[in-house]
Amino acid sequence: MNTETPGTTDQQLLAELERSIPTPTTDELDSLRAGLAADAEREGVLDVAYRSMDSPYGSLLLAATEKGLVRIGLASEDHDAILDGLAETVSPRMLRSGRRTDPVVRQLDEYFSGDRRRFDVALDLHLVRGFRHDVLTHLVDVGYGTTVSYAGLAAASGNPRAVRAAGSACSHNPIPLVVPCHRVVRSDGSVGNYAGGSEMKVSLLAMESGSAGPATTRH
């Protein structure tokens, strides 16, 4: 028996069917993603969880492995390219989820509002090796409201002559803000380069020095 209304096309039937299916709300989609992430983590197949967050400096991409925070993508970076890179270098088993990154979001919000001076999150420096790894390990200890020169950072990392290498480690820092490469300046006091742009670097240093007094530079 033909139940189609005379003159009704397949396209019209499809459109009517689509209208009859309720569109899920944002909360329902978030709940579905959370459930999928929980199932994937329970089964041991979630290697990288990622999400975006708003900040005073634009959208940030956060990604974490089971070991800890592995990547922060600044607004000036291509987030899709970062995710592609993580899929190649860490694992393609990735899901959008806040399960591992919610604490980072909370602490970054507190930092941007001036209520946090030190981050307390596990880090995964999987993406750096050798001297760069040494540099970033020492960089974590450069405190809020202070700066260090590239030469000082190279010396602290065990190779005083490797000033350019220290600068390269900062420019390739996969976890900016939490690993504070914005606190590294030139020996003459000028701010130097920054992945997020010099204006962002100046703004971050001004925020920190305004809260903690004049910034001091360790040479």
CATH number for the domain including 50?
3.30.160
CA nearest to 175, candidates 59, 69, 26: 69
Domain annotation covers residue 172? yes
CA distance 70 to 92: 14
In 41-197, at which residue ranges do the beta strands (DSSP E only) sit? 48-53, 60-64, 69-73, 94-96, 146-149, 184-185
Same domain, 183 and 213: yes
Same domain, 72 and 140: no
Q: Is the pLDDT of residue 1 over 70?
A: no
CA nearest to 162, candidates 179, 170, 147, 150: 150
pLDDT tens digits along 36-55: 555 555 545 689 999 999 99
To the query of whether residue 181 is one of the catalytic residues in this protein, the response is yes
Domain end residue (candidates: 112, 145, 169): 112
Domain annotation covers residue 182? yes
Domain annotation covers residue 123? no
Token pair listed for 46: 């979630």
**In whole numbers, what is the pLDDT of the chain averaged over residues?**
85
Domain annotation covers residue 120? no
Same domain, 101 and 162: no
Same domain, 135 and 103: no
Give the number of domains in the chain: 2
Domain annotation covers residue 212? yes
Same domain, 98 and 170: no
Amino acid at the residue 135: V
pLDDT tens digits along 2-11: 555 555 566 7
Domain with 204, as residue range(s), is: 130-218
Mean predicted confidence (pLDDT) in 7-32: 63
- Let me know: does 162 contact 156? Beta carbons within 8 Å: no
CA distance 84 to 153: 31
Q: Is the pLDDT of residue 213 over 50?
A: no
Domain end residue (candidates: 50, 85, 112): 112
Domain annotation covers residue 8? no
Please give the residue that has the higher pLDDT: either 16 or 48: 48
Amino acid at the residue 193: N
> In this predicted structure, what is the pLDDT of residue 153?
95
Give 214's pLDDT tier (boundaries 50, 70, 90).
very low
Same domain, 104 and 138: no
User: Domain of 141: which CATH number?
Assistant: 1.10.10.10
Mean predicted confidence (pLDDT) in 82-104: 93
> In this predicted structure, what is the pLDDT of residue 210?
86
Q: Is the pLDDT of residue 167 over 50?
A: yes
The answer to whether the pTM exceeds 0.75 is: yes
Give 19's pLDDT tier (boundaries 50, 70, 90).
low
Same domain, 78 and 137: no
Same domain, 194 and 151: yes
Please give the residue that has the higher pLDDT: either 126 or 211: 126
Domain annotation covers residue 160? yes
- Let me know: does 53 contact 110? Beta carbons within 8 Å: no
Domain end residue (candidates: 79, 112, 145): 112
Same domain, 209 and 175: yes
Q: Which of 52-66, 145-159, 205-219 has the lowest mean pLDDT?
A: 205-219
CA distance 208 to 55: 16
Active-site option among 165, 181, 184, 205: 181
> In this predicted structure, what is the pLDDT of residue 173?
97
> In this predicted structure, what is the pLDDT of residue 15?
73
- DSSP sequence for 188-199: TS-----TT-HH
